Amino acid sequence: MAEVLVVTSGKGGVGKTTSTAALGAALAQAGQNVVVVDFDVGLRNLDLVMGAERRVVYDLINVANGDVKLQQALIRDKRIDTLYLLAASQTRDKDALSEEGVRRCINELRARFDWVICDSPAGIERGAQLAMRFADLAVVVSNPEVSSVRDSDRIIGLLDSKTMKAASGERMEKLLLLTRYDKIRAGRGDMLSIDDVLEILSIPLLGIIPESEEVLRASNLGAPVTIANAQSAPARAYMDAAKRLQGESVPMTIPSGRQTLLTRLFGRRAA
Amino acid sequence: MTIATRPPRHSFRFRGRNFLALVLRPALPISGWLGELDDWLNRSPGFFTGKPLILDLAGVGLERADIVGLIGELKTRTIRIMGIEGVEASVLDDTLPPLLTGGRTLGAVEVAEAVSPPPAAAAAASDQVSTSDSTLPPVTIPGTESNRPNKAPTASAITPLPAQARQVASLLIETPVRSGQAVINTDGDVIVLGSVASGAEIIAAGSIHVYGTLRGRALAGVYGSETARVFCRRFEAELIAIGGHFKVTEEIDPQLRQKPVQAWVTGDELKIASLEQTDKETATWRKSS
């Protein structure tokens, strides 16, 4: 039975697209059949992070409107056989998506894949609501910072009222993915602590992704961070999160990068 | 000393009493409206059973014969009308329900399905509470789901809380109240077991009790009740109001942050104090309150 997962946050720039790509790739690396779907119509990014921007012919809107078959729009990843991308349209806007079209498209994807991962646009408007509408499970991405946490809280409220699951009286499962976590700054008290965030949002923790330049490097390379540098701290954190999604129990740790003399000195001085 | 010798007589006293009634406001054409009503009844069979119903005919301008026909149609759907509003008195006679005037609208209400939805939806209920032209906030019923298009036939309806809830007017929310959500109880207290997020709002005619952290806004005694209070286990509120007196974070002693506190009105002032302190100095605050 396929699991439809929405990656959402409310606030922009917290790491939804990065997390979609990294979780999708990590699940596919574990042998699962995965499709990542970009719902950010008009501002698509997932194709760039996946390194498939030159291969996009048809997109989500074409499929949702029934212009083309799903098969024609799916882009297979060149590195991992079981990873596919369904891109968003860059030239249309979010009104071009109909709820019925999205429902049909998600149902088709459900039949083909183990995991359907929907990358939600920022905001709480129609686009974000369509991305979450048919999901079974939500990954709420948040930075340890007050505005991001408040927006995540707002999104959790929407997940509890606007999704099909909520409308049919079921409980919508929500998991927190804390991204851009910086141990040193948290230690100094510049950021909200993990406990603070968990206390405010009161949903289970899926993983903590450390702040790392590897993430930026990977997206510039056009590869999910779990593929670009599987040994890096964020990649290991995403892989742990992917294992938790598959039901494995993995102890919650915050992986750190290999410490060079320079970072050690730097870290000590900063602390 | 005189002893009353008159035989005991039953005193003949009248009492006024307020009840909440549901108002049905048909729209033209009546046949189309009845169709919508049928759809609604299919989804919520038995919704009107045992509920007091008023028919508001203002704006539809029906003749007497049409009114008789409409009431007949409603009767076939087992909907009984206890009064009619918004027509000339001369139109109605003894065979029709009595004319009512002077009704006060409580607000547009998102009516819950007759089947009882899960309580988990309660907090989500008022995410999109719609307010009518009235000045009072709408009643939020536990289990109402804002995304159901079920307002159709009762566009300006007032509904009483479900029979059980009417006796216990407090509203219990077992989930956290998320940013952007509003929980409103125009009949009594609101009790929240979880936290109230920054950007969320609790509005109650009575007191507000929050067993988690209160980070949002709490407005108690919104109809002017100054005996209402606000209690919370951990205080980080953006705004506290009781019966029109209010304080925002800036005006509140920072010492109280993250403490269990209560807020009440004494004289013309809204006071906020730590509950721990209250415990130790019960005598002093009793004097002042």
Please list the pLDDT of chain A residue by residue as tens digits (271 residues). 799 999 999 999 999 999 999 999 999 999 999 999 999 998 899 999 999 989 999 999 999 999 999 999 999 999 999 999 999 988 887 788 899 999 999 999 999 999 999 999 999 999 999 999 999 999 999 999 999 999 999 999 999 999 999 989 899 999 999 999 998 888 888 889 999 999 999 999 999 999 999 999 999 999 999 999 999 999 999 999 999 999 999 999 888 865 555 555 554 444 3
CA separation (Å) from A235 to A26, A169, B201? 8, 36, 39
DSSP string, A190-231: SS--HHHHHHHH-S-EEEEEEP-HHHHHHHHHTS-HHHHTTT
With beta carbons less than 8 A apart as the criterion, state whether B178 and A160 touch: yes
pLDDT for residue A256: 81
Residues of chain A contacting B124 with CB distance shorter than 8 Å:
157, 160-161, 166
Q: Which of A115, A108, A113 is nearest to A26 (CA)?
A: A115
Whole-angstrom Cα distance, residue A130 to residue B274? Answer: 45
Whole-angstrom Cα distance, residue A91 to residue B147? Answer: 30
The strand pair at B171-173 and B190-192 is best described as parallel
**What is the residue-averaged pLDDT of chain B?**
73
- Give the torsion through C-alpha atoms of A229, A231, A234, A235, to 10 deg: 70
- Among B124, B179, B181, the residue with its CB nearest the CB of A166 is B124
Burial class of residue B159 (count of CB atoms within 10 Å of its CB; 0-12, 13-18, 19+): buried
- Among B178, B213, B215, the residue with its CB nearest the CB of A154 is B178
Q: Report whether pLDDT(B250) > 50.
A: yes
Q: How far is B118 from chain A (nearest CA, A)?
A: 6
Residues of chain A contacting B123 with CB distance shorter than 8 Å:
157, 160
Residues comprising chain A, all counted? 271
Q: Report whether pLDDT(B104) > 90.
A: no
Does B81 contact chain A (CB < 8 Å)? no
Q: Report whether pLDDT(B228) > 70.
A: yes
- pLDDT tier at B7 (50, 70, 90 boundaries)? low
Residues of chain A contacting B125 with CB distance shorter than 8 Å:
161
Residue written as tokens 């290999």?
Answer: A258
In chain A, where are the structural domains located?
3-270
pLDDT for residue A265: 53
Whole-angstrom Cα distance, residue B275 to residue A184? Answer: 36
In degrees, to the nearest 5, what angle opens at C-alpha B112 toward C-alphas B107 and B117?
150
Q: Which residue of A has its CA nearest to B177?
A: A157
With beta carbons less than 8 A apart as the criterion, state whether B190 and B169 touch: no
The strand pair at A3-8 and A34-38 is best described as unpaired
pLDDT for residue A145: 92
With beta carbons less than 8 A apart as the criterion, state whether A181 and A210 touch: yes
Amino acid at B238: E
**Per-residue pLDDT averaged across B70-75, rounded?**
85
Residues of chain A contacting B181 with CB distance shorter than 8 Å:
157
Whole-angstrom Cα distance, residue A65 to residue A89? Answer: 12
For A68-77, A143-152, B13-22, B152-161, which range has the lowest pLDDT when averaged over its residues?
B152-161
pLDDT for residue B80: 82
Question: A8, A161, A198: best mutation site toward chain B, by most B Cβ within 10 Å?
Answer: A161
Whole-angstrom Cα distance, residue A143 to residue A244? Answer: 20
Q: Which residue has the higher pLDDT, B131 or A89?
A: A89
Q: Report whether pLDDT(B137) > 90.
A: no
pLDDT for residue A187: 84
Chain center to CA of A124: 16
Does A202 contact B120 at a Cβ distance shorter than 8 Å? no
Does A166 contact B195 at a Cβ distance shorter than 8 Å? no
List, in order of start, the domains of chain B with CATH numbers.
Answer: 20-164 (3.30.70.260), 169-288 (2.160.20.70)
Q: Which residue of B has its CA nearest to A168?
A: B117
- Among A154, A169, A202, the residue with its CB nearest the CB of B199 is A154
- pLDDT tier at B268 (50, 70, 90 boundaries)? confident
pLDDT for residue B260: 95
Q: How far is B286 from chain A (nearest CA, A)?
A: 34
Q: How far is A56 from chain B (nearest CA, A)?
A: 35
Helix, strand, coil shares of chain A, percent, nearest 5, are 45, 15, 40
pLDDT for residue B244: 83
For A12-21, A172-181, B166-175, B257-266, which range has the lowest pLDDT when averaged over its residues?
B166-175
DSSP character for A163? Answer: S
DSSP character for A67? Answer: S
Residue B199 falls in which region: left (phi positive, over 0), alpha (psi -120 to 50) or beta = left
Within 182-221 of A, beta carbons closer than 8 Å to B belong to 199-200, 202
Does A167 contact B147 at a Cβ distance shorter than 8 Å? yes
Q: Report whether pLDDT(B258) > 80.
A: yes
For A33-37, A103-107, B23-27, B179-183, which range has the lowest pLDDT when averaged over its residues?
B23-27
Is the pTM higher than 0.90? The answer reads no
For A160-169, A225-234, B126-135, B185-194, which range has the lowest pLDDT when averaged over its residues?
B126-135
pLDDT for residue B155: 35
Per the DSSP assignment, residues forming a β-bridge with A75 are: A85
Q: Which residue has the higher pLDDT, A86 or B69?
A: A86
Whole-angstrom Cα distance, residue B208 to residue B279? Answer: 19
DSSP character for A266? Answer: H
With beta carbons less than 8 A apart as the criterion, state whether A50 and A84 touch: no
Residue written as tokens 């203002």?
Answer: B58
pLDDT for residue B65: 84
Q: Which residue has the higher pLDDT, B28 or A148?
A: A148
Residues of chain A contacting B195 with CB distance shorter than 8 Å:
199-200, 202
- The dihedral of CA B255, B261, B264, B266: what is its sign? negative
**Per-residue pLDDT averaged across B240-268, rounded?**
91
For A131-140, B137-146, B242-251, which range has the lowest pLDDT when averaged over its residues?
B137-146
**Per-residue pLDDT averaged across B70-96, rounded?**
82
The strand pair at A205-210 and A173-181 is best described as parallel
Q: Report whether pLDDT(B138) > 90.
A: no
Chains A, B: CB pairs < 8 Å: 62
List the strands of the sheet with B99-100, edge to edge. Answer: B22-24, B53-56, B83-85, B99-100
Q: Report whether pLDDT(B9) > 70.
A: no
Residues of chain B contacting A157 with CB distance shorter than 8 Å:
123-124, 127, 178-181
- Among B124, B147, B178, the residue with its CB nearest the CB of A153 is B178
pLDDT for residue B281: 52
What number does CATH give the domain A3-270? Answer: 3.40.50.300
- pLDDT tier at B130 (50, 70, 90 boundaries)? very low
- The dihedral of CA B129, B21, B59, B111: what is its sign? positive
Q: Angle A233-245/A213-221 helices, nearest 10 degrees?
A: 80
